[in-house]
Every structure is written in C-alpha cells, then in structure tokens.
C-alpha cells in the first residue's frame, strides 16, 4: 500500500532555518468557519515514569535516521526512505506532482525551491529546463510545461548524488532543522521534536489554521511546554490533539493513524527519547525498528 504525503498548498517560497521568529511562507489552506474545541490533554493518562528527555535530540544522526524511517512508513509504507529520491507521482490531491524523500510538490513551492537549489549547485542539470514551468504551475495542480518527460527526468536526476544531496539540504532547511529548533526551544525531547517534524512535513508552516505554527498555538490554549513550566507528556498530548484536529479539517489528511497508532503509542509508553525498539502501525501496516 502506498500512502503518499499530503501537504497543504504553498503559494510562496519556503523558509530557512528560523521558525516562528521568521515566518515560513504559507502552505495555504482554507481555514474552517468555526474551530471546535480539542480533546482536553488531561483526557490522556500520562505514563507513570517517563524517561528524562535526551540532551542531544532528533538531530543526533541515529535519531534522525529513525525519524526518516517513521515518516517514510507513513509517506511510502516502507522504512527504506533512501529508495524514495526517485519517486514521483501525481496522487490526485490537487498539488501536482509529489516526489522525493519528503514529498516535494510541484504545486506547493518546495519542489521549485529544490530544483532552483539543485541548479545553483549543478547548473545545466537535467531538471533545470523545467524551472520556467515549475514557476508557472506553482500554486496549482497543472502539469503544463512538465509533461511528458518530467517524471522520467526526475528519475534520471535521482541517480545523481548531487540531486540526492539537494533533496537532503531542502528537507533539512525547510522541515527538519526548524522543527528541531522549535522543539528544543519548547524544552521537549527527541519524541516531541519528531512530532513537530512530522507535523511540519504534512502541514507546512504557513498562516492557515492547520499549519504547524497554528497547531502549536492551538495546543498552547490547553497546556504549556516544559520551557514554560509545563509537563512534557501533558504538552505533547495537547499538541497531538491539536494535530489530529488539523488533520481532520481536510479529507486527504483525515486518516490520523500516523498519530493514533504511532506517535501516541510512543508517548503512552513514556518513550520521550524515541529509543528503539519501536513498534507501531500506520494505515493498518505494522512496522518495527529493533
């Protein structure tokens, strides 16, 4: 079963490493007319003795590898995230082509940013000729100027080590580094930083109500992060409640198993350091990291 990434639309360039202090361009999504209350964080029982949060965090290479595998289990139904550099498909979610290790989309701006960066480090690459078309289709699901050869050329580019490095670079710049930075600022450990990362991958960090920053803002109405004197487990439950609410605002996101039978499982076990072994399910599929 292939379960592709679904991100909210972006209509501008995405951000560098700063988060919240320097706004990321929006993955714009329609805000609902009314905002229902989240499930109170207190409804989730905290584990009796959660681990102390790790001093390193998700940016530890071993933890980052785990994070990539867990995200890939949801995005690609596989732990083999390194096999996804060449992936490209229009999944019919009105975001054009979805591709690569993090689901860069031709309609959301991050694919354009990626190909622009790749062309900076390797001028004349096989994808450079598509830059005018990528600029025109940004913000839409159009393939104008991309078909019929873009998908073949993407797969060809994925054989180039520089293109793989470019995908890694943009993943870190736009998604991974900002989420880890915010997690550390909030005083959460490796698991919490992963929850932030998975949320920003799916929702982006724009100004719409379902963006990462507004998921976090919604959680703040129910609990406080450790950096503000709150309990870490209570805070993370509140964050997941807000994340589930955001996912349910759009049909493409409405299956919340990547939270319910994955992240929530780790949290209930008190595994705040995201230590292996890990067992979880996403969309009915079971996964294990030993």
Please identify every residue annotated as catalytic.
Answer: 75, 93
CA-to-CA distance for 63 and 54, rounded, in angstroms?
11
> Positive or negative CA dihedral for 101, 107, 111, 113?
negative
Using the structure block, give the residue that is written with the tokens 């990528």.
134
> 183 vs 15, 19, 244, CA distance in Å?
17, 10, 19
End-to-end Cα separation, the chain, in angstroms: 22
Tokens of 181: 């930075």
* Contact of 271 with 51, CB cutoff 8 Å: yes
Q: How far is CA 61 from CA 64, 66, 114, 170, 189, in A?
A: 5, 9, 23, 17, 15
CB contact at 8 A, 248 and 32: no
Q: Are 218 and 245 in contact (CB under 8 A)?
A: yes
Return all residues near 8 (Cβ < 8 A) that are at least 6 apart: 27, 28, 29, 108, 203, 204, 206, 208, 210, 211, 250
Identify the three-state secondary structure at position 280. Answer: strand
What's the length of the chain?
290
Q: Which of 85, 267, 253 is nearest to 158 (CA)?
A: 85
């Amino acid at each position: 079963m292939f379960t592709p990434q679904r991100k909210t639309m972006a209509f501008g360039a995405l951000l560098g490493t700063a988060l919240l202090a320097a706004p990321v361009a929006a993955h714009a999504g329609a805000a609902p007319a009314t905002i229902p209350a989240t499930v109170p964080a207190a409804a989730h029982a905290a584990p009796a003795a959660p681990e102390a949060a790790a001093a390193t965090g998700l940016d530890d290479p071993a933890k980052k590898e785990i994070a990539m595998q867990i995200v890939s289990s949801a995005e690609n139904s596989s732990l083999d995230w390194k096999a996804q550099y060449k992936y490209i498909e229009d999944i019919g979610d009105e975001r054009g082509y979805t591709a690569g290790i993090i689901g860069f989309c031709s309609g959301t701006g991050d694919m354009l940013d990626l190909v622009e960066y790749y062309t900076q480090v390797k001028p004349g690459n096989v994808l450079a000729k598509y830059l005018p078309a990528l600029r025109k289709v940004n913000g839409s699901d159009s393939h104008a100027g991309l078909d019929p050869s873009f998908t073949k050329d993407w797969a060809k580019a994925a054989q180039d080590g520089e293109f793989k490095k470019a995908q890694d670079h943009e993943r870190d710049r736009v998604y991974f580094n900002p989420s880890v930075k915010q997690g550390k600022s909030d005083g959460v450990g490796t698991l919490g930083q992963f929850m932030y990362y998975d949320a920003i991958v799916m929702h982006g960090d724009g100004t719409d109500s379902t963006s990462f920053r507004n998921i976090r803002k919604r959680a703040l109405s129910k609990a406080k992060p450790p950096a503000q004197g709150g309990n870490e487990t209570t805070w993370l439950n509140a964050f997941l409640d807000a994340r589930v609410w955001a996912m349910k605002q759009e049909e493409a996101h409405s299956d919340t198993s990547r939270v319910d039978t994955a992240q929530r499982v780790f949290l209930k076990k008190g595994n705040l350091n995201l230590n292996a072994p890990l067992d979880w399910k996403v969309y009915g599929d079971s996964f294990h990291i030993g």
